[in-house]
Amino acid sequence: MRFTKLSLVLLILLALVVPASYAQENENEDQGAGLTIGFSQIGSESAWRTSFTEAVIAEAAERGINLLFSDAQQSQENQIAAIRAWLAQGDVDAIILAPVIESGWDSVLQEAADMGVPVIIVDRNVNADESLYVTRVSSDFVHEGRLAAAWLVQETSGNCNVVELYGTVGSAAAEDRHTGFAEVIALFSNVQIIQSQTGNFVRTEGKQVMASILSSTDPSTICAVFAHNDDMAIGAIEAIKEAGLVPAVDILVVSVDAIPDIFDSMDAGETNATVELSPFMGGPAFDAVVAYLNGEELPKWIPVGGGLYTSRADYDADR
């Protein structure tokens, strides 16, 4: 019985890893030098977002792309205004849009399509007609949740009571990571989410929620914490330590994002695993622009990143 379950896990892992590695293969000789590309970013609300912006700017500089950068400061109106300004000037070859929300993009995307300017959506999704944009480059949050669950099932041989630290309720990252995680553990009757509470992706709240749960539940019944991001995991680790338990030993810790701090925590032996949320979406997005301008057919979704790492060395080896 156990063998079939383990092989099932391995099969899931294989199914998850293959498309992820496929996405990384696109090393192109045509890098897009001389193109002018507009990039409308959501803002700078988190450290991850900042490193995402920096990665795009660095990638453009390396390729010799003339990047017009616009920070929308969380406002869709600003994004639409920036796109219209680029279209009006008529000198952009393509537009990369990191949309702040999903809805309300049809008319401006239609304007871009009418002008013949290709639009690539990065990070979050839009619910506009697929014909209005070239492709979408983003992380697969469901895949991240599945990977974390698969690792946990494998590590505990399918026996685990999990505390889930939920991200901001309603955000795609939180909902999809939960969906992916729940999907995989549903296959194993002895793996259950015994508590699920939101820490809003924040460190302090992650700590407070975990401390509350450890006070009200017998800690020996908790086998692992699955946090929807690394910050909440780091907070939870503090709570676990304060409760006199050893994180990553008494209670396993697995989370998503792969921020630098989580690798410090891994070095200290306090975190078990993290799933990467890649900030390196610039490269695949620029590749998509080049491929489109060369007349190639592209899939409507190009997933990026999403490896699971259990040590800093593994992560560095992939960079």
Partner 1 sequence: MNLERQQANVHRGGRGAFKTLTSVMLNSRLFWTGLALLIILLVNLQISPNFFEIRMVNDRLIGSIINILDNSAPYILLAIGMTLVIATKGIDLSVGAVMAICAAVAVTLIKQYEAGSTEFYVQPGFVILITIGVGAICGLWNGILIAFLNLQPIIATLILMVAGRGVAQLITNGQSPTFTNDTLAFVGRGVVWGVPFPIYIAFIALILITLLVRRTALGLLIESVGVNDRASYYAGIQANTIKVFVYVLSGVCAAIAGMIVAGEVKSADPHKAGLFSELDAILAVVIGGTSLLGGRFYLTLSVMGVLIIQSMLVGLYVSTLHPTTNLVVKAVVVLAVLLLQSPEFRRFITQPFRRLR
Considering only the stretches 10-18, 41-49, 100-108, 309-317, report the one whose residues sit in contact with partner 1 under the rule CB under 8 A. Answer: 41-49
Asked if residue 17 binds partner 1 (CB under 8 A), the reply is no
Least distance in angstroms from the C-beta of 136 to partner 1: 25
Report the residue number, 31 or 50, with the smaller CB distance to partner 1.
50
DSSP E strand boundaries for 101-223: 119-122, 135-138, 160-166, 191-198
13 binding partner 1? (CB under 8 A): no
Please, what is the minimum distance in Å from the beta carbon of residue 124 to partner 1? 17
Find out whether 121 and 185 touch, Cβ atoms under 8 Å: no
The interface with partner 1 within residues 226-245 (CB under 8 A) comprises: 231, 234-235, 238, 242-244
Residue 94, beta-bridge partner list: 37
Distance CA 248, CA 254 (A): 9
Nearer to partner 1, 123 or 287 (CB): 123
Based on the shown chain and the rule CB under 8 A, indicate whether residue 261 belongs to the binding site for partner 1: yes
Least Å distance between CB 1 and partner 1? 29
Residues 188-207 that bind partner 1 (CB under 8 A): 195-198, 200-204, 207
User: Contact between 161 and partner 1 (CB under 8 A)?
Assistant: no
| Residue 216 binding partner 1, by CB under 8 A | yes
In angstroms, the CA 160 to CA 144 distance is 19
- The CA distance from 81 to 147, in Å, is 39
State which of residues 134, 213, 266, 302 lies at the interface with partner 1 (CB under 8 A): 213
Residues forming beta bridges with residue 66, ordered by sequence position: 36
Task: Give the distance, in angstroms, between the CA of residue 297 and the centroid of all CA atoms in the same chain.
Answer: 25
SS3 302: strand
Q: In this structure, how many other beta carbons lie within 10 angstroms of the beta carbon of residue 93?
A: 18
Q: Which of residues 48-67 bind partner 1 (CB under 8 A)?
A: 50
Q: Please report where in the chains the tokens 């975190």 appear, as a residue.
A: 271
Cβ count within 10 A of residue 289: 24
Residues within the interface to partner 1 (CB under 8 A) = 44-47, 50, 166, 169-170, 195-198, 200-204, 207-209, 211-217, 231, 234-235, 238, 242-244, 261, 264
